[in-house]
Amino acid sequence: MSPSSSSVSPAAAVTTLADSFTLRKLQTWDRLAVETLCNESFPIQYPDCWYDEVVSGGLLSTGLFDGENLAAMIVSETKLLYDCNLEDQGIVQENVYVTYILSIAVNKKFRRLGLATRLLNNLMSSLTDHPPYPRAVFLHVLSTNSAALSFYRIHGFEFHASLPEYYRIGEVYADGCTYVKYINGSHAPVTFTDVCKSFGNTICMPLKAICKMLSF
């Protein structure tokens, strides 16, 4: 057997390692671990009621565990578009179900092992071609968080909108942005700019053809 056929690529090694962690729903006894992970991962402070929802089933919350230790988590909720905040209601054009990712966090000791990817892929698999067939998955992120922005772009999310002074970090306000991934046959809504471009192309194409003919 040649060395190339017996060796394991770095990407495959990371995938194998990520698969070795135990995946399960977060439970009430995980509350302290969840709070600790969030405090270490995010500059904003969540209220106590948010942690209660995360571990009590009020939100869809999944964790990856290294033995008894919480290594990573993802929290989301699926609801009708009109039940979302006003700034998010332009994501799609109809009052359909959408999924909002509230949080993805990975313990510093377990980063770059593919844990966030495994959690996100697990969520997307549960949403694609499954009731209630959400048409979009979206999230908010700090506009300065380049690592998170790169992660979401790699996984097919696209920029939707800027959110000026969306986050309050201590006494300072910071800008955020919305990223969206369309699923279950959906797509980004058609904007006025798109209509203008389409109309312009429709008008310009015949004119270009006529000008080309006249040039001969």
Tokens representing 137?
Answer: 């998955």
Tokens representing 101?
Answer: 């990712």
Active site (annotated) includes residue 155: no
Residue in the block written with tokens 């006529």? 210
The single residue of 140, 152, 160, 167 carrying the catalytic annotation is 140
In 3D space, the residue among 193, 197, 190, 199 whose CA is nearest the CA of residue 94 turns out to be 190
The single residue of 100, 152, 167, 182 carrying the catalytic annotation is 100
Active site (annotated) includes residue 100: yes
Residue in the block written with tokens 């071609």? 129
Q: Which residues contact 137 (CB under 8 A, 6 or more apart)?
A: 76, 98, 99, 100, 101, 123, 124, 127, 157, 180, 181, 183
Q: Which residues are catalytic?
A: 100, 140
